Amino acid sequence: MQEQADGNGDWDPDANQRGIGDCYLLATLQGYSRTEDGQQFLRDQVRWDEKKNCFVVTLYDNGKPVYVDVDDYYSDGTKDAQRRPTLMSLYERAYGKHFGFSDLDDGGNPEKDGMEVVSNADAHHVDTWGSEPGWFGWTSPIEDHKYDDSEWKDIKDSVENGKPVVGLTNGDFSDDGTVNAASDTNGDGKIDTKNPGSNGEAPDEEGKYRLVGGDYDHDPKTKKSSHAYTVVDIDDEYVTLRNPWGWNDTPNDGRKGGGLIRITREDYEKHFAHTSIG
């Protein structure tokens, strides 16, 4: 981890979330980790203190910097694919130490509990709530599962400018979150269904996948939930996401490795009703 903090080592772009309910934080950290500038920002907020023999992580609490001593990490927290702790592990532990594990574990808002805590960013969001005309010129809010052109532009420009962008699956899951999508089936770190991978493997494959959200576990004893994904790319047809789980599920309970998944814009605005931008 010290090499990663010093700039002499990289870390897995997948957070590989396990037993802690902090997708809002991990998706944010993935958002910073996808660019060199973002990685350097995360490094700049972590320093090694020789006297204390620990890392000191800078977070922000209501806009004020706090300096959290970190000398361990969560055993069931974020790690790389080889189960080794990363720089993201330090941020996760710092968050839990400062705000309390229950606050870390109970989910959160990506902009308020993720972006503003990590960077003190002036974060905002766009959503799929529109309006319809009512009586006497009044308008009523309505969930139309649509982002307008200006909102799509905000999302796309922010991704292209290296800002962290996180989508939240609090939309329509009447289809159980099943979508036609592509994932990084050849394991070369990107999605391309037309050309062979940079590792010489066959092009990535499309298929049926389940987005995480709604009544995901089909357990009547648990509440419906939402999940945070990092938006890593967007074009006129597709939105490419990174699931902080580090994998994506198929409808038959299968699992495809790697967190990347590419869905249509239509499926994004149907299932992701809230997009946070740092």
Average pLDDT, integer, range 170-198: 95
Q: Is the domain of 154 the same as that of 97?
A: no
pLDDT in tens, 143-180: 789 999 999 999 999 999 999 999 999 999 999 999 99
Decide if 66 contacts 97 (C-beta within 8 A). Answer: no
- Rounded percentage of the chain residues whose pLDDT exceeds 90: 81
Q: Kindly state the tokens that stand for 153.
A: 């532009």
Q: Is the domain of 7 the same as that of 107?
A: yes
Catalytic residue at 8? no
Spatial neighbors of 66 by CB under 8 A, at least 6 apart, are: 58, 59, 60, 98
User: What value, to the nearest 5°, has the Cα angle with vertex 273 and ends 42 and 106?
Assistant: 55
The reply to whether 136 falls in a domain is no
CA 8/CA 6 separation, integer angstroms: 6
Q: Is the domain of 107 the same as that of 190?
A: no
Catalytic residue at 23? yes
Q: Which of 99, 119, 139 is a domain's end point?
A: 119
- Single out the catalytic residue among 16, 170, 186, 243: 243
CA 14/CA 26 separation, integer angstroms: 9
The reply to whether 208 falls in a domain is yes
C-alpha 96: how far from chain center = 18
> Worst-scoring range by mean pLDDT, 25-39, 117-131, 150-164, 236-250?
117-131
CA 53/CA 151 separation, integer angstroms: 46
pTM (2 d.p.): 0.92
User: Phi and psi (nearest 5°) for 56?
Assistant: -120, 120
Decide if 73 contacts 89 (C-beta within 8 A). Answer: yes
- Single out the catalytic residue among 16, 170, 227, 248: 227
Domains contained in the chain, number: 2
Q: What is the DSSP letter of 114?
A: I
- Single out the catalytic residue among 23, 125, 186, 248: 23
Domain that holds residue 89: 2-119
What is the pLDDT, as a whole number, of residue 6? 72
Q: Is the domain of 13 the same as that of 115?
A: yes
Q: Kindly state the tokens that stand for 211.
A: 């987005």
User: What value, to the nearest 5°, has the Cα angle with vertex 163 and ends 85 and 131?
Assistant: 120
Q: Is the domain of 175 the same as that of 113?
A: no
Q: Is the domain of 154 the same as that of 273?
A: yes
The beta-strand segments (E) located in 93-144 are 124-127, 129-133, 139-143
Residues forming beta bridges with residue 12, ordered by sequence position:
none
CATH number reported for the structural domain that contains residue 183 in this entry: 3.90.70
The reply to whether 34 falls in a domain is yes
pLDDT in tens, 264-274: 999 999 999 99
Q: Is the domain of 226 the same as that of 156?
A: yes
Q: Would you put residue 130 in left (φ > 0), alpha (ψ -120 to 50) or beta? A: beta
Catalytic residue at 170? no
